Amino acid sequence: MRTDLFINNEWRNASDGGTFPVTNPATEEVLCEVAKATDTDVDAAVQAARACFDSKEWKRLSARRRGAMLLKAGDLLEARMKEFAKLESQHNGKTFFEAKIEISMTVSSLRYYGGLADKIEGKTVPVEGPFLVYTRREPLGVVGAIVPWNFPLNLASWKFAPALAAGCTIVLKPATETPLTALLFGEVIQEAGFPPGAFNVISGGGSTAGMSLVKHPGVDKIAFTGSTEVGRVIMKEAAKSNKRISLELGGKSPNVIFADADIESAIRGAQTGIFYGKGEVCAAGSRLLVEKSVHDQVVEQLAARAAKLTPGDPLAKETRMGAVVSQSQQESVMSYVARGVEEGAKLVAGGKRAQVDGKGYFVEATVFDNVTSDMTIAREEIFGPVLSVLAFDDFDHAAQIANETVYGLAAGIWTRDIGKAHRLAQEIQAGTVWINAYNYYDTAAPFGGFKASGFGRELGSEAMDAYLETKTVWVNLV
């Protein structure tokens, strides 16, 4: 385990010696004390990233060589899969089963962007007059990356892998609840051969270390994943210095089941859509829209499945429902459950706290029926294992409810009518639409939000745009 800040390829204590505890939410035990970055430490990390970015060594490093380092990092991480997955499970509460998937997705990010590093091309541009005009795609500088606790290392890699591939350097601030895998990843960075300052990790608070990074004049860009609320705060602050930003924010994604769907698969998709990762998934299918004629059947079967999804020891092989990330998250989820009941939704499964061996912050897989778009549980992101079921009459009604949200991150559509599926895919305002599937991700497939779910795209070759500037060069040929 690493518990110190990773700055300039070294592990350091916080400048004032400060630390904060990291807890295992499944056992309530304190795992360790981790260094809490001060403004001085954030400044040291940014200076290290800046010095690396401006160094001749980094500038002369070919894109292919940078790519090779990322590929090597992918191999090193893959070889340590179980160690990283266990740690991810311990600080986040997710099952070991899910943590392994997460770490293998991180390996994919490293490989995909490692392969892309030497394929960043400009173009020649036909213009009027005797000129040769060409563009260069240049790294935009020092990137500050701020990430949440739900997929700690993977969401960080969605930023640091393309950023390093582009030739940027990076300062990463992991979430307070889950700093351990990002810090340990420093070992991988060192061994992969990255020079000091290319990749730095400052564990610490959001409004302190995070905000200090956002305000720092040495940072050229902030890449943020987290809540819509904090995204707005960052946007406002970044505007003061024209910092570039990209934001991956919250969601309240509709998962739409038509009567002509393969109902069995649709129910399975609805289940994983909301309960995978304990519902702490930005793209969770947290609003299930069901056509009236199949509504009772779908709700009944889903409630039965939810009842069987009992929370267990996250490290046990067979467990499919882990602990929510913290006690305060458990309280927040439970307050939404209470609100659902108060506002007249019908609780058909779960709805209670749970413990495993008398410990831990678990929440039962919960399903609310008879939900309407005006209810709090249909409007606000709960970020827990709580599903809201809304019934619809026909296609237009489904499209209307689907878009009755400020968010636009993802959506699911279940039907055997292929034309209807594509028509609805066009109408739903969301960055990702799954047809007869839910919660699939691939490093090659762009991901990001419409509306209040943010802007900019991660994953795929699109992600590179967030870390590159285009320079146009005019050459007078006469």
Tell me the catalytic residues.
248, 282
Using alpha carbons, list the distances in angstroms from residue 325 to 87, 100, 281.
13, 17, 12
**Binding of ligand NAP by 175 (CB under 6 A):** yes
> How far apart, in whole angstroms, are the C-alpha atoms of residue 136 and residue 13?
40
In the bound complex, what is the minimum distance in angstroms from residue 233's beta carbon to ligand NAP?
5
Among 24, 109, 150, 432, the residue binding ligand NAP under the rule CB under 6 A is 150
- Binding positions for ligand NAP, 355-414, rule CB under 6 A: 381, 383, 409
Q: Name the 3-class secondary structure at 340.
A: helix
**Segments of 36-156 assigned E as strands:** 124-125, 131-139, 142-146
Among 161, 214, 386, 389, the residue binding ligand NAP under the rule CB under 6 A is 214
In the bound complex, what is the minimum distance in angstroms from residue 358's beta carbon to ligand NAP?
27
**Binding of ligand NAP by 429 (CB under 6 A):** no
**Binding of ligand NAP by 133 (CB under 6 A):** no
For residue 357, is it left (φ>0), alpha (ψ between -120 and 50) or beta?
A: left
Among 147, 303, 306, 337, the residue binding ligand NAP under the rule CB under 6 A is 147
**Binding of ligand NAP by 183 (CB under 6 A):** no
Q: Which of 167, 190, 308, 255 is nearest to 437 (CA)?
A: 255
Query: In this complex, which beta carbon is closest to ligand NAP, that of residue 193 or of residue 205?
Result: 205
Binding to ligand NAP by CB under 6 A, coded x per residue (else -) over 236-275, reads ------------xxxx------------------------
- Binding positions for ligand NAP, 222-241, rule CB under 6 A: 225-227, 230, 233-234
**Binding of ligand NAP by 179 (CB under 6 A):** no
| CB-based contact 451:408 (threshold 8 Å) | yes
Q: How many CB atoms lie within 10 A of CB 113?
A: 29
Among 114, 141, 144, 148, the residue binding ligand NAP under the rule CB under 6 A is 148
Q: How many CB atoms lie within 10 A of CB 207?
A: 10
CA 280 centroid distance within chain: 10
Residue linked to tokens 């009604």:
397
- 227 CB burial (10 A radius; 0-12, 13-18, 19+): middle
Query: In this complex, which beta carbon is closest to ligand NAP, that of residue 49 or of residue 192?
Result: 49
> How far apart, in whole angstroms, are the C-alpha atoms of residue 292 and residue 270?
16
Residue 444's φ and ψ, nearest 5 degrees, are: -85, -15
Considering CB under 6 A, how many residues would be counted as binding ligand NAP? 31
**Binding of ligand NAP by 194 (CB under 6 A):** no
Within 8 A by CB and 6+ apart from 77, the residues are: 84, 103, 106, 107, 110, 185, 188
In the bound complex, what is the minimum distance in angstroms from residue 109's beta carbon to ligand NAP?
13
Structure tokens at 463: 């992600």
Stretch that binds ligand NAP, among 185-193, 208-216, 309-317, 365-373 (CB under 6 A): 208-216
**Binding of ligand NAP by 206 (CB under 6 A):** yes
Stretch that binds ligand NAP, among 133-141, 171-179, 288-296, 395-403 (CB under 6 A): 171-179
Residues found near ligand NAP in the complex (CB under 6 A): 146-150, 155, 173, 175-176, 205-207, 210-211, 214, 225-227, 230, 233-234, 248-251, 282, 381, 383, 409, 449, 454
